[in-house]
């Protein structure tokens, strides 16, 4: 897999030309539509689980492009990057390759909420993703636009239920068939672009709008409920025109911390990192926004916007009279542009310039510094209400159709990558006749993200926050490998054996080290003699073990290792993880019971076609309607629905319990039959020999 | 006197022993069934499991790993004295003050041979409310103990595979009934000053949590004002101090009357006050032919066939331009919402002259009076058709025939408060309804709710100290303390979800994309 090899300058077009006849006739297991963060992770994940995969994208050149901010990670988002990496996804390693400014946010607020983050070089990130996809076995990349989704006629037994059979491309060529299709079309589903009072169709400036066919299929043929969301980007600013003396400098961490569990260091050397700058809005900015409101149709259409402030307009309108932060972020090692994080807006170009020049370090900015593609614009786009998806991110009514990324109403690269990976895994498994897999809220932020989406739905672009995870102290960035890599290899099949072996080594070493710490039991007085004054309280006759000691702020694992070298120095590699473990272990133990309960409930699945309105158990009409609308896939998801009563949960439980055995038996029969059919084909070939 | 009480206690114990042996062991169940509901977390739970009213003995059940702690701290049963499934006469003491609360029988059922499959204990104590409250509060003060949630004993039994499938089906209904009883009980307590106090604490705690969460999730990217955490520090300290003061305060606030809450409701001039006067055999309420005579709630404590009841007469339900009467109608509706049993009084003379239409008319009338969630629960309502002296005997018989034929109506009594006709039948019906309600330990016992509240508040205060402990070293763990505190308080005032916290964050801070 060529990890750590030099890359850059790989011309992907050499390998992936326009559609050729042999491609068109080929049947794939999985087709992924879209080459953004969701699409690339989906394609790579599907290929990793063993599926023959085709990635179709409008422009091969823009695969892996960062179409908005040049950064990855952060608080909550960094957790997702670590988890995607733990499942052998791409974005963590790509971040380590392309990062030019690394920092761990929340450093002083506790390891559970540390936010690993990096500013990225756009070019390097794109190159890494493209070359990684090229070297992925079983993955083909194709340039083209998808015209139509191919579906079977609805099952007469179950009206409205389809199965996906492939796609048709826009250039009128033959259909390409596949067992699963993953749609990751981002903002391109009926997307329209806004700037000032002009509106044009499209999902991103500089790219052709995607065909209306796909949107039509989802809405009309599949009858999926869609909603509309919007987002926007700030302008790009020419570095030379910025007066940095009026902004405050933010240096990166002295020692960059890689995202990936496989990397010990980043490509960028510590001293080569670039700084960020922080500046603030002024009352002049507010004045420009207010005076140009009539020229701004994106904001005028603001009927019931999100609760947060996606644009500078909404910031100053909702929180007037305050200073708002603007970060000036580097776009790359060689780029002469800066990205002003916090300056998204949708006004006409001349007003944009007026507004920007009200910000002190940007007062020298001239209009010719900004290209059209570097102006701000807003995007409105359709998203598919994600409550119509299963926890495997499959459309409940359409077998083999998976959705991931902004099409599900989320925002952010990391949220997209996480869904992409999971949709890809399940699309691959579906195509290979393996049962779907789900991640629980109790084991990962990816599980929290997907559960929130499919059981609660979205009313504004969904973004990950650590406060959404009820088991935050257990789901830490530091232990994502232990939480997910082992499962990813043993149960899911999306993790390489190389990564798995590393995770096993880490797990075993940590266990040994923790056992060694726990077995070292000494009276307080002895600890004091050994370690000196580290704030151990004076309680008489108390004995403490090594784990207890590590809970003290002033005690580090290194100190213990130098006091007991023969016991602890073999584990010095894991000092930080051991210290974190010692602090959180007691709290995690308290949470374990609750986590186990949720896992038990999540293991009880509710049949997707359950007729809640006439279910022969005593349920109130209200509860029936809630269940019928949301159709939770497990008892656990049902329990978390608003309006569910404990009594209703018990009724469901006893019903599921009774029918569960029957269901399982019939499902097994189905799988057996499918297996026999496929075996049959092979045997026909094998027998004549 | 003591021997006779002991004999009574002993009978109770045998009864319990028998029922616990009857419960079949179905361990096969637990392999694939999870425990439902959100409150089946670990810990040791306790509850009064006998009814109230005229009972000499009350049974308090304890289930969970700390059961033996309870026996040791409150009944002095050290390990060597513990004998499984044997009733022992012990002094029951408060674990803190060592004060003797009662003398009664205690039993120990080591798991898995118990109703819940866990270590369990039972305290058979005297049935007076003061003793029960004292024992429940003493249990609540032990570490790891909390009051059981609705149906929790049965749920634990289910999880341990101690219940058959038919029993599980009944469990849903049982939990429904218990949660309803708790909800009504809580409503009664929460509408007063105490409710306002708890709500105020909840909203302040929510804000604290929102601000800590905002600081964790957004302060690195967004401008979160300096001093947000300092404000939280102060708020958490204040809240802790207020709750501790409240827990120490011996005045328990307004004393709630114990007993089944019976509310008389209906249209104006249906004869509600007459019914109250008839029942308490004295003119407790003013009766007049003028509609809207009763404006406030008139409350009387009654003993009905040996069961305690609090009877409330309410203002007639009608739209009125009069401000005072409107307030009376609002209070009447509030009382109906909180009632264990509602007597809906209807003037016979106001029924449709065609007796065939009467059932449909009454059905419509009921739904205008009873709160939505109770319309289907006919057992919690009695329909009283008053003023039978004003209608003809023939029409009355027609009406009775029609009512017998129709289904879906609660029990109906025809009476005349003027002539006392039908009063005996009505009293019998009332007696049996109240008796059924008294079998449920949760209806009409405010001390139980108070004990629950107390335990949750104690947990809340304890959790808040985690905030201070980690405030400067690990904000994630500090926030965890506030979250746990809010969860405990939420068991009194209602659960608080992550979205509610985000609502506050987005309202108070400017958060970007």
Q: Give pLDDT, residue A682.
A: 32
A positions 56-85 inside 8 Å of B (CB): 74-76
Closest residue by Cα to residue A483 from A79, A120, A103, A46: A79
Name the band, by pLDDT with cuts 50, 70 and 90, for residue B492.
confident
For the cut 60, the answer to whether the pLDDT of residue A679 exceeds it is no
Burial (Cβ within 10 Å: 0-12, 13-18, ≥19) of residue B343: buried
Mean pLDDT, all residues of chain A: 86
* Average pLDDT of the residues of chain B: 78
Q: So what's the architecture of A509-601 in CATH?
A: Orthogonal Bundle (1.10)
pLDDT over 70 (residue A369): no
The residue of chain A with its CA nearest to that of B170 is A651
> Nearest by CB to A650, which of B171, B215, B373?
B171
Tens digits of per-residue pLDDT, A55-73? 999 999 999 999 899 999 9
- What was the pLDDT predicted at A689? 28
Mean pLDDT of B322-348: 87
Residue range(s) in chain A whose domain bears CATH number 2.40.30.260: 237-377
Question: If contacts are CB pairs under 8 Å, which of residues 312-331 in chain A contact chain B?
Answer: 315, 318-319, 322-325, 327
Q: Report pLDDT for B444.
A: 53
pLDDT digits 0-9 by tens, A308-344: 888 888 888 888 898 999 999 999 999 999 999 999 8
* Per-residue confidence band for A110, with pLDDT thresholds at 50, 70 and 90: very high
pLDDT level of residue B11 (50, 70, 90 thresholds): very low
pLDDT at B432: 84
Name the least confident of A134-148, A263-277, B301-315: B301-315
What's the mean pLDDT in A554-574?
A: 93
pLDDT score recorded for residue B54: 52
Who's near A317: CB < 8 A, 6+ residues apart?
Answer: A289, A290, A299
pLDDT at A576 over 90: yes
Residue in chain B lying closest to A553 (CA): B473
What HEC string does A126-153 produce?
Answer: HHHHHHHHHCCCCEEEEECCEEEEEECC
Query: What average pLDDT does this structure show over B294-318?
Result: 80
Span A151-170, average pLDDT: 87
* Residue B179, pLDDT above cutoff 70: no
| Inter-chain touch A473–B507, beta carbons under 8 Å | no
Lowest model confidence (mean pLDDT) among A29-33, A188-192, A307-311: A307-311
Poorest-pLDDT segment among A97-106, A550-559, B152-161: B152-161
Contact in structure between A421 and A429 (CB atoms under 8 Å) = no
Q: Which two tokens stand for residue A623?
A: 């509860």
Asked if A593 lies within 8 A of B506 by C-beta distance, the reply is no
B61-86 per-position pLDDT tens digit: 999 989 999 999 999 988 888 889 99
Tens-place pLDDT, residues B358-401? 888 888 888 888 876 555 566 788 899 998 888 888 888 888 88
HSE, side-chain direction, 13 A CA sphere, residue A645: 23
- Asked if pLDDT for residue B346 goes beyond 70, the answer is yes
Alpha-carbon torsion B438, B442, B446, B451, what sign?
Answer: positive
| B1 at A interface, C-beta within 8 A | no
Interchain proximity B512–A467, CB inside 8 Å:
no
Q: Which of A110, A322, A658 sits opposite B510 (nearest CB)?
A: A322
Work out the pLDDT band at B15, boundaries 50, 70, 90. very low
The set of residues, in sequence order, having a beta carbon less than 8 Å from that of A157 and lying 6+ positions away, is none
Are B306 and B335 in contact by the 8 Å Cβ rule? The answer is no
Dihedral class, residue B14 (left if φ above 0, else alpha if ψ from -120 to 50, else beta) = alpha
Enter the DSSP assignment of B355: G
CB B145 within 8 A of CB B455: yes
Interface pTM (ipTM) of the complex? 0.87
CATH 2.40.160.40 fits A237-377, yes or no: no
- Name the pairing type of β-strands B44-48 and B57-63: antiparallel
What is the model's pLDDT at position A671? 54
Residue range(s) in chain A whose domain bears CATH number 1.10.150.570: 604-677
DSSP assignment of A561-577 equals: HHHSHHHHGGGGGGHHH
Angle CA A638–B25–B81, to nearest 5: 110
The pLDDT assigned to B224 comes to 81
Position B40 scores a pLDDT of 41
How many other β-carbons are positioned within 10 Å of the β-carbon of residue A635?
Answer: 22
CATH number of A604-677: 1.10.150.570
Percent above pLDDT 70 for chain B:
78
Helical segments of A324-369, H only: 349-357
Structural contact between residues B207 and B445, judged by C-beta atoms closer than 8 angstroms: no
Per residue in A196-224, is it b (16+ CB within 10 Å) or e — as a string? beeeeebbbbebebbbeebbebbbeebeb
Best residue in A101, A324, A647, A664 to probe B by mutation, most B CBs within 10 Å?
Answer: A647
Peptide bond into B112 cis (omega under 30): yes
Helices (H), B101-254: 129-140, 152-159, 165-190, 193-218, 228-248
pLDDT at residue B32 in the model: 26
Region B254-276 average pLDDT? 79
Tens of pLDDT, residue by residue over A31-57, are 999 999 999 999 999 999 999 999 999
Q: Judge whether residue B12 has pLDDT over 80.
A: no
Does residue B296 or residue A510 have the better pLDDT?
Answer: A510
Q: Residue B349 — φ and ψ, nearest 5°?
A: -70, -15
A102, β-bridge pairs: A118
Q: How far apart are CA A352 and CA A329, in angstroms?
A: 19
**Hey, are the CB atoms on A646 and B37 less than 8 Å from each other?**
yes
- Closest approach of A650 to chain B, Cα-based (Å): 5
CA distance B468 to B472: 8
Out of B218, B473, B479, the one facing A553 most closely (by C-beta) is B473
pLDDT of residue A373: 59
What is the gyration radius of the CA atoms in chain B, in angstroms?
26
Q: Does residue A181 contact residue A167 with C-beta atoms inside 8 Å? A: yes
Q: Are A119 and A98 spatial neighbours (Cβ–Cβ below 8 Å)?
A: no
A366 touches chain B (CB under 8 A): no
- A660 interaction partners in chain B (CB closer than 8 Å): 32
State the nearest Cα–Cα gap between A380 and chain B, in angstroms. 15
Q: Which of residues 463-482 of A touch B (CB under 8 A)?
A: 463, 465-468, 470, 472-473
Of B34, B151, B510, the CB nearest to A603: B34
Q: Tell me the sheet residues that pair with A327.
A: A278, A341
Res B46 pLDDT > 60: yes
* Assigned token pair, B253: 């606030």
Cβ(A656)–Cβ(B190) below 8 Å: no
* Mean pLDDT of the region B485-513: 83
For residue A494, the 8-state DSSP code is: -
Q: How far is CA B487 from CA A542, A643, B45, B427, B483, in A?
A: 33, 18, 17, 44, 6
Higher pLDDT, B495 or B200: B200
Kindly state whether B498 is in contact with chain A, defined as any CB-CB distance less than 8 angstroms.
yes
Q: What is the pLDDT of residues A491-500, one digit of tens each?
A: 999 999 999 9
B38 contact A CB<8A: yes
**Residue A96 in contact with residue A266, Cβ under 8 Å?**
yes
Residue A23 has pLDDT above 70, yes or no: no
Whether residue A184 has pLDDT greater than 80 = yes
pLDDT in tens, A394-447: 999 999 999 999 999 999 999 999 999 999 999 999 999 999 999 999 999 999
Residues B182-232 have pLDDT tens digits of 666 666 666 667 778 888 999 999 999 999 999 999 988 887 876 899 999
pLDDT at B169 (0 to 100): 58
Please name the residue that has the structure tokens 């259409």: A301
């Amino acid at each position: 897999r060529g990890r750590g090899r030099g890359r850059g300058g790989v011309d992907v077009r050499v390998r992936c030309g326009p559609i050729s006849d042999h491609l068109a006739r080929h049947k794939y297991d999985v087709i992924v539509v879209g080459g953004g963060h969701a699409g690339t992770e989906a394609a790579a994940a599907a290929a990793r689980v063993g599926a023959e995969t085709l990635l179709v994208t409008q422009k091969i050149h823009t695969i892996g492009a960062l179409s908005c901010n040049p950064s990855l990670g952060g608080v909550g988002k960094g957790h997702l990057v670590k988890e995607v990496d733990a499942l052998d996804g791409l974005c963590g390693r790509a971040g380590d390759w392309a990062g030019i400014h690394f920092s761990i946010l929340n450093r002083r607020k506790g390891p559970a909420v540390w936010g690993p983050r990096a500013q990225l070089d756009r070019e390097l990130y794109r190159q890494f993703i493209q070359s990684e996809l090229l070297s992925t076995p079983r993955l083909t990349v194709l340039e083209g636009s998808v015209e139509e989704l191919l579906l079977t006629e609805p099952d007469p037994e179950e009206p409205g239920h389809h199965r996906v059979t492939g796609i048709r491309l826009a250039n009128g060529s033959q259909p390409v068939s596949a067992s699963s299709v993953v749609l990751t079309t981002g903002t391109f589903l009926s997307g329209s672009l806004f700037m000032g009072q002009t509106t044009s169709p499209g999902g991103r400036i500089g790219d052709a709008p995607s065909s209306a066919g796909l949107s039509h299929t989802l809405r009309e043929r599949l009858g999926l409920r869609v909603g509309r969301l919007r987002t926007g980007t700030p302008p790009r600013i020419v570095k030379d025109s910025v007066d940095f003396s009026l902004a405050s400098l933010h240096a990166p961490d002295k020692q960059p911390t890689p995202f990936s569990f496989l990397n010990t260091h980043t490509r960028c050397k510590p001293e080569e990192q670039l700084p960020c700058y922080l500046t603030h809005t002024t009352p002049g900015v507010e004045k420009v926004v207010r005076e140009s409101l009539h020229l701004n149709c994106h904001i005028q259409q603001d009927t019931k916007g999100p609760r947060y402030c996606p644009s500078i307009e909404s910031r100053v309108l909702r929180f007037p009279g305050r200073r708002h932060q603007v970060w000036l972020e580097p776009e790359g090692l060689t780029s002469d542009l800066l990205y002003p994080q916090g300056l998204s807006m949708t006004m006409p170009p001349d007003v944009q310039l007026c507004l920007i020049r009200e910000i002190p370090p940007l007062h020298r900015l001239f209009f010719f510094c900004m290209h059209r593609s570097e102006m701000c614009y807003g995007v409105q786009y359709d998203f598919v209400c994600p409550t119509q998806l299963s926890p495997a991110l499959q459309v409940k009514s359409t077998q083999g159709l998976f959705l991931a990324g902004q099409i599900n109403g989320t925002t952010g690269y990391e949220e997209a990558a996480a869904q992409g990976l999971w949709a890809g895994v399940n699309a691959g498994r579906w195509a290979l006749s393996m049962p779907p897999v789900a991640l629980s809220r109790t084991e990962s932020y990816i599980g929290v993200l997907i559960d929130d989406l499919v059981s609660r739905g979205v009313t504004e672009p969904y973004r990950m926050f650590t406060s959404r995870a009820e088991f935050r102290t257990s789901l830490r960035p530091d232990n994502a490998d232990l939480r997910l890599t082992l499962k990813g290899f043993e149960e899911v099949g999306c993790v390489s054996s190389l990564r798995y072996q590393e995770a096993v080594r880490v797990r075993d070493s940590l266990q040994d080290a923790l056992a060694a710490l726990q077995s070292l039991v000494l009276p307080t007085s002895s600890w004091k003699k050994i370690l000196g004054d580290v704030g151990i309280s004076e309680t008489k006759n108390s004995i403490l073990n090594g784990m207890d000691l590590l809970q003290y702020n002033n005690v580090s694992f290194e100190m213990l290792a130098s006091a007991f070298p023969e016991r602890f120095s073999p584990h010095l590699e894991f000092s930080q993880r051991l210290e974190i473990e010692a602090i959180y272990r007691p709290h995690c133990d308290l949470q374990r019971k609750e986590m186990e309960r949720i896992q038990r409930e999540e293991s009880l699945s509710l049949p997707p076609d359950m007729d809640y309105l006439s279910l022969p158990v005593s349920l109130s009409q209200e509860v029936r309607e809630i269940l019928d609308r949301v159709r939770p896939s497990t008892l656990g998801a049902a329990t978390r629905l608003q309006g569910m009563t404990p009594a209703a949960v018990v009724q469901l439980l006893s019903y599921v319990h009774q029918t569960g055995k029957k269901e399982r038996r019939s499902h097994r029969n189905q799988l057996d039959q499918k297996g026999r059919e496929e075996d049959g084909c092979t045997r026909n070939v094998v027998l004549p020999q | 006197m003591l021997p006779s009480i002991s004999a009574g206690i002993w009978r109770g114990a045998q009864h319990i022993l028998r029922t616990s042996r009857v419960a079949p062991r179905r361990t096969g169940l637990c392999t694939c069934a999870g425990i439902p509901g959100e409150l089946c977390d670990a810990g040791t739970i306790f509850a009064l499991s006998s009814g109230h009213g005229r009972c000499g003995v009350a049974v308090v059940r304890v289930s969970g790993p700390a059961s033996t702690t309870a026996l040791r701290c409150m009944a002095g049963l050290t390990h060597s004295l513990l004998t499984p499934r044997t009733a022992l006469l012990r002094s029951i003491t408060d674990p803190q003050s060592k004060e003797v609360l009662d003398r009664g029988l205690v039993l120990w059922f080591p798991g898995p041979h118990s109703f819940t499959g866990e270590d369990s204990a039972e305290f058979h104590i005297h049935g007076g409310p003061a003793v029960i409250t004292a024992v429940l509060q003493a249990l609540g003060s032990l570490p790891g103990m909390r009051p059981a949630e609705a149906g929790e004993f049965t749920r634990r039994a289910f999880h341990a595979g101690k219940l058959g499938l038919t029993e599980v089906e009944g469990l849903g209904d049982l939990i429904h009934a218990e949660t309803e009883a708790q909800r009504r009980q809580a409503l009664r307590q929460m509408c007063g000053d105490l409710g306002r106090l708890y709500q105020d604490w909840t909203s302040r705690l929510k804000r604290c949590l929102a601000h800590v969460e905002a600081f964790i999730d957004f302060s690195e990217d967004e401008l979160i004002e300096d001093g947000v955490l300092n404000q939280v520090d102060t708020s958490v300290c204040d809240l802790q101090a207020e709750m501790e003061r409240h827990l120490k305060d011996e005045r328990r606030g307004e004393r709630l009357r114990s007993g089944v809450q019976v509310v008389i409701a209906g249209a104006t001039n249906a004869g509600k006050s007459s019914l109250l006067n008839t029942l308490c055999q004295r003119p407790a309420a003013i009766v007049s032919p003028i509609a809207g005579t009763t404006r406030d709630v008139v409350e009387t404590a009654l003993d009905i066939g040996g069961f305690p009841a609090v009877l409330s007469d309410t203002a007639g339900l009608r739209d009125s331009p009069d401000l005072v009467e409107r307030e009376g109608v609002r209070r009447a509706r509030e009382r109906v919402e909180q009632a264990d049993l509602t007597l809906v009084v209807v003037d016979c003379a106001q029924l449709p002259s065609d007796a065939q239409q009467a059932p449909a008319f009454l059905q419509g009338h009921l739904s205008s009076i009873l709160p939505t969630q109770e319309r289907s629960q006919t057992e919690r309502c009695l329909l009283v058709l008053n003023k039978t002296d004003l209608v003809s005997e023939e029409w009355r018989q027609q009406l009775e025939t029609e009512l017998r034929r129709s289904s879906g109506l609660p029990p109906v009594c025809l009476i005349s408060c003027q002539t006392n006709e039908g009063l005996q039948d009505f009293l019998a019906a009332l007696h049996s309804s109240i008796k059924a309600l008294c079998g449920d330990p949760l209806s009409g016992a405010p001390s139980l709710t108070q004990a629950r509240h107390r335990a949750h508040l104690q947990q809340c205060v304890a959790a808040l100290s985690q905030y201070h402990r980690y405030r400067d070293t690990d904000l994630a763990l500090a926030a965890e303390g506030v979250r746990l505190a809010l969860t405990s308080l939420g068991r009194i005032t209602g659960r608080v979800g992550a979205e509610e916290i985000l609502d506050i964050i987005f309202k108070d801070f400017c958060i970007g994309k």
